[in-house]
Amino acid sequence: MATFTAACVQLRSGKTIAKNAEVAEGLIRSAAKDGARYVQTPEMSNVLVKSREDLLERITDADADPFLKMAKCLAAELGIHLHLGSLAVLAGGGKVANRAFLLGPDGAVEATYDKIHMFDVDLPNGESWRESATYEPGRESVIADLPFAKIGMAVCYDIRFPAIFRTQARQGAEVLTGPAAFTRQTGEAHWHVLQRARAIENGAYVISAAQGGHHEDGRETYGHSLVVDPWGKVIAELDGDEPGYVLAEIETDAVAKARGRIPAIANERDFVCQVAGGLKEIPA
């Protein structure tokens, strides 16, 4: 079992990748100086642009992305694991990948994950989102096996789909993640309860760095980057939407203890869901 310090870096990313990278670099440096060995940034760390046309004008493929180049050098310089919650990068065919990168202390990419679930919705306040019109959804769940913990990777809207996190927990993930750019409206309603629910039902830590505040493209995000322990307690939170960072001590022994007290994963059983009238059975 291991103990390490984790950090959530909260950003307010705008339309200029170089400026976003500069702000993120300063906060990552400060978090590492305070002892963080694992640092996570939010979804869309490199750029936050609602217009598809504006986005495509700004981004490149992953190899050329200036935010990722900065992050690789910084991870190597600081000797940390740096989890970029996601970057917008070209995926070919006119599509974009919403891709997370986990960098090792040598600056190399140890794991990547493309966001699986697309946020397509019309909200009561008039906001409309169609992520599937721009982004190519991922098809694989990913666990990064780091020296101090197995970390399950996910992005934002994925937090509403428990099967991803359950599958990762079954495969030994001790830390689950949900770096995000939650809208203020949905964040105020559901952010905390979703993070705590994923932690409780899987007996795992949940670490979720967030975007926060009013952005250049007109959207408003909720902030409140946080860390939840395996018993469902919020042990660290950046209370508000201002850029900054928050630290938490992660003790992987707490995962084993929580799963021992509530052995939901061990007690899980296969079942089928029978349609009323007995017409057919649907695998659960």
Selecting among 15, 72, 156, 174, the annotated active-site residue is: 156
Could you tell me if 100 and 179 are in contact, meaning their C-beta atoms sit under 8 angstroms apart? yes
Evaluate the CA torsion angle 186, 187, 188, 194 in order and state its sign: positive
Q: Where are the alpha helices (DSSP H) in 10-161?
A: 17-33, 52-58, 66-78
Selecting among 8, 15, 43, 150, the annotated active-site residue is: 43
State residue 91 phi and psi, 5-degree precision. Answer: -120, 0
Q: Is 280 a catalytic residue?
A: no
Tokens of 172: 């030994």
Q: Is 43 a catalytic residue?
A: yes
Selecting among 8, 115, 136, 150, the annotated active-site residue is: 115
Q: Is 115 a catalytic residue?
A: yes
Could you tell me if 8 and 30 are in contact, meaning their C-beta atoms sit under 8 angstroms apart? no
CA dihedral 53, 57, 63, 67 (to 10 degrees): -100
Residues in the chain: 284
237: which strand partners?
Answer: 226
Sequence-ordered list of residues with C-beta below 8 angstroms from that of 235, at least 6 positions apart, any chain: 227, 228, 229, 248, 249
Q: Which residues carry out catalysis? A: 43, 115, 156
